[in-house]
A and B are shown apart, each in its own frame.
Chain A
């Protein structure tokens, strides 16, 4: 679904040696498993080729010596082969499995770590679904092709070389006759495997469209009903399900054709062996055992060829997966500590942590924040912030108000250094924040988002996210301050209650209170808050207002404000319009101006009062 928003070629046509060199280098780093895997694959190819030889021996022995034939040795030989092959099979599955699972594990871990460092501008252009696909299907596909593909290649090649050698050794003329079909077999197999792979991709793509259609049908069911669209929708869906039918059938028929055709081709080898071998055997030039071995080998060729054809057809897709995965791992975060800052951090790491000195060796405090002629554009040429300047002292509460898209969020994103200004500077006590450690700055910041995000786990874990070493009492204290303690205690398991995925089992109001508690636990110097606009019941609203006061108490704060109470209590109100400060000052001064702020305030006043009146009379307590 999300893939469509950020589309790119599924695979590249040409084999890219640079990518494959990297893949091999990667495989080499697992050599403690890959080396034995290669040896085992080789051995199993050899062993596989020997069975027909034993059969030949048994038959010739019997044919030659009749009743006097001793079969014990052959039985032992056969038993030895079975034992050896079975051991090989066990080993190569375990080894290849080990390599594949370890490698995909490592790919995921590396990519995940990289994602933690990448700048937001990277996320802006890539939907979460796209990133998920890199982490799951690409890492798996690549690891599988490396481990299992390598195994099959080595096994298949060895087996084919051995069979060819044995055939030529037993009777080179007959051998050549049987081997004549191999190139045709290989060519046909490869062509089929490629076609089958292509059509199965189409099936998968159509399938994801089907999923979208079902999603839409269910989410839009009330709209469908009021528009009386059932028939129309169904007939559109039938078009899609017929497309799926066609695609699936095409894929199935290709597979249905493949096996008979390949088997028929390989039976040419069998027929050749029977005819030429039979002619010689009839005049005594060839033993019956050899003839049977020839027929057996002619059949045996088919399996490794079809396996290898399958792998070859997948190579291009594996390469595409590798390109995307390496692309993600190789991306350099746009925002990171400069070499100078890294140097400073390195210098100060060894020394005992000094009171009042941050990790980058500069003072561990923030007295003033200065925005100096900031401009910013997410896309080139589309400035969302123009020449923005502001000076803030520690402890000040700044309220940002104004229309959506005016640039309020951009200002706080720049402050958090999620983005860096395209022009101008942000100074912390006179030092450009790009000269300070990123980790230091962000650890002094607290953020409360408009849509609170919780992680699955327990309530306690979610609050502790603010400060990992917080004691249970401190967590409880934070919850109390955020007015969340009561509702938490009302839950069956209190602080150990489960939080579902995305906090789905809590109401919006509750999630907000929990995210406040988390921010309080973190005890940041600077708090950035995007006030929620969603309507909650009166009681929750009151709780939220109380909690808000507790969160903002004694900190420098930047609030994208909607509530009148929050706006009024700010030390400085900035009206942001079209990327500029339209008005700034304290509440009373701004009102007196009868400008943009006055209108905003009047609108908000009406809205807030109306909402208050229209709230459910008997407000249910927080769910």
Chain B
């Protein structure tokens, strides 16, 4: 895997120049702001004290021709103009840095989003959603903070030194040495402090996390709390964590108190030393007053960025950690495209599916499907039945190419599935999943998800076929009702039916219903099955279900157990054959027996 710094560099592609421009603007702004003390120095020494001064020839020339009043007025004007000019540069520095940073961050977010969508299901099945979201939000934010403030700020400290040091040295070498005496101390102090305080920050974060957990569990389990009348107990429990968190926070504050007061002390002492030693030399005539003034001012300009150094290093460290966490996502390979893809036929897909000796395992040595062979003619309805974990849903996932089979072959209209483009397969073999996901859009948008061009009539037809049209009409805003937290909360059965309507609208040549009607009541289910019959002969349908009433009308029924096909046939043949199907079929009889016995 590439180094983290390299990834950062790559993310900055196209924006590096802009950072360069920002740093240049900063350099110019800084340079200009450094002239201001020089102007004041000139005013004090040359105009007020009337001493000979060092200055560019044109300045001295101009000064000579001016009265004191004019000279001071131009000095004042120069201060204003220089501050404004420096401000303009500083504005551009911030603007350009922000533009570059925000563009990079937007790019990173888009890349993460796109990448996540294309990562294989095998990755998502193992990944922790909360952790992924955290990486895409908090870690990106950490990197953003670093980019927006520190990249240019790092340039600032450096520039300060290379611009201001020669300037100071040219004015007075001895004085420069005095002024810079404590700078290494403050750098070391700041760096060491931030390095040390990192753990305390983490402890405080953890204490807050513990507190939040207690609070959250209390709120979600409030019924349990009341049921056992544990209010006082909960208050004590919360109180303990609350106390710890307060302690940690206070500990942090005290550390910061030491940091800021000690830092201020070093800086103020440095200023005092510069002032007194400088004044001493002024008294001896070895230094001009204006120069002393300039030194004291420069010192303050220098100290601030130096004090930020520790923070900058910490921020860089954090950004590196976050980059590593993003890299772990971006480094994962996405769903691969077939090496030699088959060209899709011009005449469209008929919907003939042939499954030949297919084998599949999520984890090595734990096969979920073994030698499964099933044939479905175009336009027919196939039913899959089997106990939990028998491999029905896995088969559906293989057909949608959410996973790739490892043995055998699956042919769609005679074409090997693994050699067809995934998007092509998925738009021809539609799957309605067991626990369908609805997006936080309106009901209508959810139904039209795969067919944006469908008009309102088509949409309503699909909804009616899924027996959800009536329910939707009853919502205050009909099809424009948002789903989820911002709108209606749909029941499990309603969600399933919306998902079914979504699939029916796109009307794929092969439609797989993976236990899609499990939360729908028996009456509605039979109505839906009735409408599904319209597909018969035209489109291929694969039903995975538990209720015999759903399965019995299929053209062909396949019983899976532990990943193998154990029985297949029609309702007629299977109900006369010993096995799962027959046992289920007999339940009705058992019920009658039981009722009679009672």
Which A residues form the contact surface with B (CB < 8 A)? Answer: 1-2, 4-5, 54-55, 58-59, 61-63, 65-69, 71, 74-75, 78-79, 81-82, 85-87, 89-90, 93-94, 96-98, 100-102, 104-105, 108-109, 112-113, 115-117, 120, 123, 128, 131-132, 135-136, 207, 210-230, 232-234, 237-238, 241-242, 244-245, 248-249, 252-253, 255-257, 259-261, 263-264, 267-268, 270-272, 274-275, 278-279, 281-282, 288, 291-292, 295, 416, 418, 439, 442-443, 445-447, 449, 453, 455-456, 465-466, 468, 501-502, 518, 522, 528, 535, 587-588, 591, 598, 602-603, 605-606, 609-611, 613-617
Contact = CB atoms under 8 A, between A and B. Distances in A.
Interface stretch (B10-18, B169-177, B305-313, B581-589): B581-589
A101 B285 CA distance: 54
Interface in B382-425: 386-390, 400, 402, 422-423
A102 B250 CA distance: 9
B254 A94 contact: yes
Given A217-B116, A241-B106, A439-B229, A614 B275 contact: no
Interface in B257-284: 257-258, 260-262, 264-265, 268-269, 272, 275-276, 279-280, 282-284
Given A55-B275, A58-B279, A225-B426, A615 B387 contact: yes
Given A221-B117, A456-B217, A502-B217, A252 B268 contact: no
B268 A4 contact: no
Nearest to A227: B450
Interface stretch (B129-137, B195-203, B319-327, B358-366): B129-137
B354 interface: no
Nearest to A501: B213
B277 to A, nearest CB: 9
Given A112-B235, A135-B215, A105 B245 contact: yes
B387 A261 contact: no
B388 A535 contact: yes
B239 A4 contact: no
B223 A237 contact: no
B242 interface: yes
Interface in B446-505: 449-450, 452, 485-486, 499, 502
Contacts of A591: 595, 598
B49 A260 contact: no
Contacts of A225: 117, 121, 400, 402, 422, 426
A557 to B, nearest CB: 14
Main SS of the interface on chain B? helix
Contact of A263 (B83, B283, B499, B522): B83
Contacts of A94: 253-254, 257
B577 interface: no
Nearest to A530: B223
A587 B485 CA distance: 41
B106 A212 contact: no
A218 B76 contact: no
B178 interface: no
Contact of B212 (A78, A132, A213): A132
Interface stretch (B53-61, B339-347, B373-381, B433-441): B433-441
Interface string B79-101: 11001101110110111001101
Interface of B: 36, 40, 43-44, 47-49, 68-69, 72-73, 75-77, 79-80, 83-84, 86-88, 90-91, 93-95, 98-99, 101-103, 105-106, 109-110, 112-114, 116-119, 121, 124, 127, 129, 132-133, 136-137, 141, 148, 211-213, 215-231, 233-235, 238-239, 242-243, 245-246, 249-250, 253-254, 256-258, 260-262, 264-265, 268-269, 272, 275-276, 279-280, 282-285, 289, 292-293, 296, 386-390, 400, 402, 422-423, 426-427, 430-431, 433, 436-437, 439-440, 449-450, 452, 485-486, 499, 502, 506, 522, 546-548, 561-562, 580, 583-584, 587-588, 590-591, 594-595, 598
Contact of B449 (A61, A229, A252, A267): A229
Contacts, number: 405
A418 B48 CA distance: 84
Contact of B229 (A65, A215, A219, A443): A443
A234 B49 contact: no
A536 B40 CA distance: 84
A609 B587 CA distance: 7
15 contacts: A58-B279, A71-B276, A75-B276, A89-B264, A97-B256, A98-B253, A102-B250, A116-B225, A211-B133, A218-B116, A225-B121, A237-B113, A264-B83, A442-B229, A456-B213
Given A58-B275, A610-B587, A272 B76 contact: yes
B253 A93 contact: yes
B261 A249 contact: no
B289 A288 contact: yes
A275 B242 contact: no
A588 B597 CA distance: 10
Contact of A275 (B76, B106, B228, B548): B76
A267 B591 contact: no
A229 B117 CA distance: 9
Nearest to B231: A116
B505 to A, nearest CB: 11
B72 A218 contact: no
A82 B265 contact: yes
Contacts of B99: 249
Contacts of A237: 109-110, 113
Contacts of A59: 279, 282, 289, 292
A226 B261 contact: no
Q: Which interface residue of A2, A132, A215 has the most chain B CB atoms within 10 A?
A: A215
Given A62-B282, A217-B113, A603 B522 contact: yes
A446 B227 contact: yes
A229 B253 contact: no
Given A225-B426, A228-B450, A275-B75, A217 B296 contact: no
Given A89-B260, A245-B105, 11 more contacts: A82-B268, A93-B260, A97-B257, A112-B235, A113-B235, A131-B219, A214-B113, A259-B90, A278-B68, A501-B217, A605-B591
B87 A260 contact: yes
A219 B437 contact: yes
A372 to B, nearest CB: 23
A97 B276 CA distance: 35
Contacts of A82: 265, 268-269, 272
B437 A223 contact: yes
A79 B264 contact: no
Contacts of B580: 613-614
B102 A248 contact: yes
A215 B129 contact: yes
B261 A90 contact: yes
A128 B234 CA distance: 17
Given A86-B264, A244-B106, A260-B90, A278 B47 contact: yes
Contacts of B260: 89-90, 93
B95 A256 contact: yes
Given A86-B264, A264-B83, A58 B117 contact: no
Given A97-B253, A101-B250, A112-B235, A132 B95 contact: no
- Most chain-B CB neighbours within 10 Å: which of A234, A238, A255? A234
